[in-house]
Chain A
Amino acid sequence: MKDFAELFRRLDQTTKTNAKVAALADYFRAASDDDKMWTIALLSHRRPKRTVTTTVLREWAAEAAGIPLWLFEEAYPIVGDLAETIALVLPPKSANSEKTLTDWITVIKGLKDLDDAEKKRLVLDAWSGLDTTERFLFNKLITGGFRIGVSQKLMTRALAQATEIDENALAHRLMGDWTPDNTSFEQLVLSEDPRENLSRPYPFYLAYALEGELDALGAPADWCAEHKWDGIRGQAIVRGGELYVWSRGEELVTERFPELASLTDFLPDGTVIDGEILPWRDGRPLGFQTLQTRIGRKAVSKKLLSDAPVVLKAYDLLERSGDDFREQPFVERRSALENLVANNSAGGVLLLSPLVRFESWDDLARERDTARERGSEGLMLKRKDSPYRSGRRKGDWWKWKVDPFTIDAVMIYAQSGHGRRANLFTDLTFAVWRDDELVPFAKAYSGLTDAEFNELTRWVRRNTVERFGPVRSVKPEHVFEIAFEGIQKSTRHKSGVALRFPRIHRWRRDKTIHDANSLADLKALLPDEERPAD
């Protein structure tokens, strides 16, 4: 564990990509194959199954720290991370463990069949032999959610440096449904002809937001454009008569979208489509609140299927007749995709994401203005001769989103943040006017600088009207411009509307609370069919 903790410290101590890659590459050169496999697994969101509940971990930690459980529970949201809270409250280590990363994972997996008393003994024993960083990592292994600021892409680059294997080849080998228990470093990483894995997806190609003017992209004739749908980006794979659906987070989500099962009957074997999974009815998306009901929901009820039916809006064809098609120019891939989808719509669940016709950049700008009406987030621009690349890249694909909605609102409640913002009031609630009453409609946590949050924090301390637990109502005095991506009617919100991704756009120090917008102004932004009749 010491070398893994050292790796973690090096990664955590820098914000520079090159330094992170170098730290990982050094680690990969020195570590045992088992430790390497587990490191790759952890950094690609594969973790050992949870064998201890977080409830008992908290109890054991509080007990070992000599503090009451309630005090632990109070400290936890301030730290913002359970593994870290436990690591910090425990007394200094009393022994020195030389176990490796793989040894500890074996211990954790072994807890599964033990009774609570045995589990407790082993966990307390682990804590007493580890320093704060090692403990934090041990706790992360137990509780999961291993995010340490290294993307799978960076990890793959470091592994490529350490093994001298091509980075893209490695990216492909590392995808799919493997765990360190069912394969080895030799098989997964080093074998040129890796274990046949029909489910293995291609790395997604992700676009950056367009910077600067369209003119800079050159001739409009070199580009294609289509709408950017706000759903779940996914890859549908039909191989060996089976369907595999992957989300962009490289999670296999086939079971969650039974609507797509019929794709196997319509698509030829050896087909991989990149597209957007989207709740859809009568020719348009059903909106973000409906989408919300399908995200992360593993059990799918009949009611959910009829309330929020999904389709796959196809963007691109990555594999045709079993051949990797990604090096073909976009227009070639696109016409092959059109042929495929034109021949069938798999019972209505497979739809093309239509290309937008445009002659000039002005045409395109006008098309973007229709995005809200169509329920899209804006446009995607794709260079006609571009291959399908891996990961987030600049140059060939750009997303060109519509400008957010904005509204001027009054801050009425403040709550302190957690983790990195535990000492600041960063969770703010905003209101608009209904006659002479302020009606809360949005919470926002981001968009101000540290200096502004500090200033606001001092102001909140002095201008608290009432406290409700951690929430303080404050004197209505400050106006902020709130930006958001979407708005829908909602019966669950006091204001009658729900917002998509609200955030603070800027502090309007030039405005008084009487300049803030009204609820009617806000409702005027609802899509036509949802606007109240009055």
Chain B
Amino acid sequence: MSLLEFTDKGIYCPRADVYIDPWRPVARALITHGHADHARPGHGAYLASEAAVPVIRHRLGDIPIEGIPFGETREIGGVVFSFHPAGHIPGSAQIRAEYKGEVWVFTGDYKTEPDGLSEAFELVRCDALITECTFGLPVFKWQAQAEVISEINGWWQQNAEGGLASVIGAYSLGKAQRVLVGIDPGIGPIYTHGAVEDTNEVLRAQGLALPETLRVTPEIKKEAFAGALVVAPPSALGSAWMRRLGPASTGFASGWMALRGVRRRRAADRGFVLSDHVDWTALNETIRSSGAERIYVTHGYTSIFRRWLESEGYDARIAETEYEGELLDDASGDKTGGQAGGEGASA
């Protein structure tokens, strides 16, 4: 019996009879983080990192969920589980499972570069590693976050001088707050779309320091947005909602913005290459440093990346999952107030 298995409901630990980030309802689920493709409604019991619980509650409503601190162990059916920071969004975790000295790690979604917001990624040594590879191609190599943020500041500054609002599309959970803690609040006022502000409130309540933001409401006059930064989910760009902001330049923050074709297709004025997932370099570095000999790859360019790992001497396999990586719309990030996880609902 393998310590972890891949089933049509999700990653399964038969010895403990628990699932990790399952996409169909199960009795007992361990959850890496609050994005909708990982934390779905309908499970009998949830276990997550303490820091991830408020957001998961916010999204899934009143569910039976328990949180444990990072690093603390929990024995279930003889298997020792623990949660370790994944650096993807606040509270996001990798899940470690150990049984009789054999260690497996599921990374969930992760990012090794510190972003000033999420708990810093912790490298966890293991025998078998289940890793996402959303951006597992050698064309994806991120610039340092500080450089990207300074591009955003420059864009905002220039728009402010021209009397325009700067509307940036960023996932309402994670990316939006990363932009908020990075940018220079001296340039002008910062407004947020309701979906972003709702998440802000949850994160502030658990002690995260975010700059002062103002919720966009219908009463606010268009003139107020001239020179302001407005942080909104990507699906709001180009929607009727934009009309209440007056003349605006639009930007979109996503790893996909590294590709010129995707940048152009978005029809936003500017694309900023800012991802909550590891790039090619960090992905390879993580695998190397984990010490794992067996690698399972999920969401992303799995067949290409598996072949690459094999050519590098790893025992590499594909794990079929229903996680969605970094989508261009906000389906995995923007459903609020307990409506998350509806299959096929689009942003």
Q: If the complex has contacts A16-B269, A79-B261, are A459 and B344 also in contact, measured as CB distance less than 8 A?
A: yes
In the complex, which of the residues A71, A89, A419, A424 contacts B308, with contact meaning CB atoms closer than 8 Å?
A: A71
Q: Is B258 an interface residue (CB 8 A)?
A: yes
B242 interface residue (CB < 8 Å to A): no
CB neighbours of A255 from chain B (8 A): none
B139 near A13 (CB under 8 angstroms)? Answer: no
From residue 96 to 127 of chain A, which have CB atoms closer than 8 A to chain B? none
Chosen A-B contacts, 25 in total, with CB atoms closer than 8 Å, are A12-B264, A14-B269, A16-B269, A65-B138, A68-B311, A70-B307, A71-B304, A71-B307, A71-B308, A74-B304, A78-B139, A80-B261, A149-B264, A418-B261, A419-B260, A420-B262, A420-B265, A421-B265, A422-B261, A423-B256, A451-B235, A452-B346, A454-B347, A458-B343, A462-B322
A36-77 vs B, Cβ < 8 Å mask (1 yes, 0 no): 000000000000000000000000000001011011101100
CB <8 Å contact, A451 and B260 = no
Q: Kindly state whether residue B296 has any CB partner on chain A within 8 Å.
A: no
The reply to whether B260 and A454 contact each other, CB–CB distance below 8 Å, is no
Chain B nearest CB, measured from A18 CB (Å): 12
Does B6 make an interface contact (CB < 8 A)?
Answer: no
A127 to chain B, nearest CB (A): 15
In the assembled complex, the Cα of A455 lies from the Cα of B312 at a distance in Å of: 35
Instruction: Tell me which residues across on chain B come within 8 A of A455, comparing CB atoms.
Output: 344, 346
Contact B259 A84 (CB under 8 A): yes
Partner-A contacts on B (CB < 8 A): 137-141, 235, 256, 258-265, 267, 269-270, 301, 304, 307-308, 311, 322, 324-325, 327-329, 331, 343-344, 346-347
Contact of B138 among A89, A419, A452 (CB under 8 A): A89
A-B pairs, top 7 by smallest CB distance, nearest first, are A419-B261, A420-B261, A420-B265, A88-B139, A455-B346, A451-B346, A420-B262
B347 — nearest CB in chain A belongs to which residue?
A451
Query: Count of A-B contacts with CB under 8 A?
Result: 94
**Interchain CA distance A21-B34 in the complex, whole Å:** 45
Most chain B CB neighbours (cut-off 10 Å) among A14, A74, A85: A74
Contact partner of B260 among A12, A71, A74, CB < 8 A? A12
Contact partner, B346, options A16, A420, A454, A462, Cβ 8 Å:
A454
Whether A15 is near chain B, meaning CB under 8 Å from some CB there, is yes
Chain A neighbourhood of B301, CB < 8 A: 74, 78
A79 lies within 8 A of B346 (CB): no
Q: How far is the CB of B322 from chain A (nearest CB, A)?
A: 6
Beyond the given A75-B139, A422-B262, could you list 7 further A-B residue pairs with CB under 8 A, ordered by the A residue number? A12-B263, A15-B269, A78-B139, A149-B264, A454-B331, A455-B344, A462-B322
CB proximity of B242 to chain A, nearest CB, Å: 14
Which of A16, A85, A149, A419 contacts B262, CB < 8 Å? A419
Known: A14-B269, A75-B137, A79-B139. Is A451-B329 also a contact (CB below 8 A)?
A: yes
The reply to whether A13 and B137 contact each other, CB–CB distance below 8 Å, is no
Contact with B along A267-309 (1 / 0, CB 8 A): 0000000000000000000000000000000000000000000
Asked if A81 CB lies within 8 Å of chain B CBs, one says yes
Contact yes or no, B137 A419, CB < 8 A: no
Q: Quick one: which of A471-503 are within 8 Å of B by CB?
A: none
The distance in angstroms between the C-alpha atoms of A452 and B267, with both chains bound, is 17
In the complex the two chains form, what is the Cα distance from A430 to B294 in whole Å? 40
Per the bound structure, the CA–CA distance linking A419 and B328 in Å amounts to: 13
Q: A461 near B: Cβ within 8 Å?
A: yes
**Cα–Cα, bound, A421→B190 (Å):** 32
- A71-B346 in contact given A420-B265, A421-B265 (Cβ < 8 Å): no
Interface size on A, residues (CB 8 A): 39
Complex Cα–Cα for A149 and B304 (A): 31
How many angstroms between the C-alpha atoms of A183 and B346 in the bound complex? 56
Mark contacts of A383-424 with chain B using CB atoms, 8 A cut-off: 1 yes-contact digit, 0 otherwise: 000000000000000000000000000000000001111111
- In the bound complex, how far is the Cα of B256 from the Cα of A420, in angstroms? 9
CA distance A72 to B304 in the complex (A): 10
Whole-angstrom distance between the Cβ of A89 and the nearest chain B Cβ? 5
CB of A450 closer than 8 Å to a CB of B: yes
Contact partners of B137 in chain A: CB under 8 A:
74-75, 78
**B259 adjacent to A79 (CB under 8 Å):** yes
The chain A residue with its CB closest to the CB of B249 is A14
A5: min CB distance to chain B, Å:
13
Residues of chain B within 8 A of A89, CB atoms compared: 138-139
Contacts of B269 in A (CB 8 A): 13-16
Residues of A within 8 A of B307 (CB): 70-71
Question: What residues on B are CB-neighbors of A421 within 8 Å?
Answer: 261-262, 265
Structural contact, A71 and B270, CB atoms closer than 8 A = no
Q: Which residues of B contact A418 (CB under 8 A)?
A: 261
Most buried by B among A68, A78, A420: A420
Cα A67 to Cα B280 in complex, Å, equals: 12
Contact of B329 among A14, A16, A80, A454 (CB under 8 A): A454
CB B148 to nearest CB in A, in angstroms, measures 14
Cα distance A422–B257 in the bound complex, in angstroms:
12
- Chain A proximity of B337: nearest CB distance (Å): 20
Residues of chain B contacted by A14 (CB below 8 angstroms): 269
Check if B331 sits within 8 Å of A458, measured CB to CB.
yes
CB distance from B219 to the nearest CB of A (A): 29
Which listed residue, A68, A450, A458, touches B328 by the CB 8 Å rule? A450
Q: Is A422 a contact partner of B259 (Cβ separation < 8 A)?
A: yes
- B63 CB to closest chain A CB, in angstroms? 23
Tell which of A12, A13, A462 has the most Cβ of chain B within 10 Å.
A13
Q: How far apart sit A65 and B280, CA to CA, in the bound complex (Å)? A: 12
Of the candidates A68, A420, A423, A459, the one whose C-beta lies within 8 Å of that of B327 is A423
Q: How far apart are B273's CB and chain A's nearest CB, in angstroms?
A: 10
Q: Is the CB of A420 within 8 A of B138?
A: no
Cβ of A75: which chain B residues have Cβ within 8 Å of it? 137-139, 304
The answer for the CA separation of A451 and B264 in the assembled complex, in Å, is 16
Residues of B within 8 A of A461 (CB): 322
| Min C-beta distance of A427 to chain B, whole Å | 14
Residues on B with beta carbons closer than 8 Å to the beta carbon of A149: 264
- Chain B residues positioned under 8 Å from A423 (CB to CB): 256, 325, 327-328
Contact pick for B270, options A13, A84, A452, CB 8 Å: A13
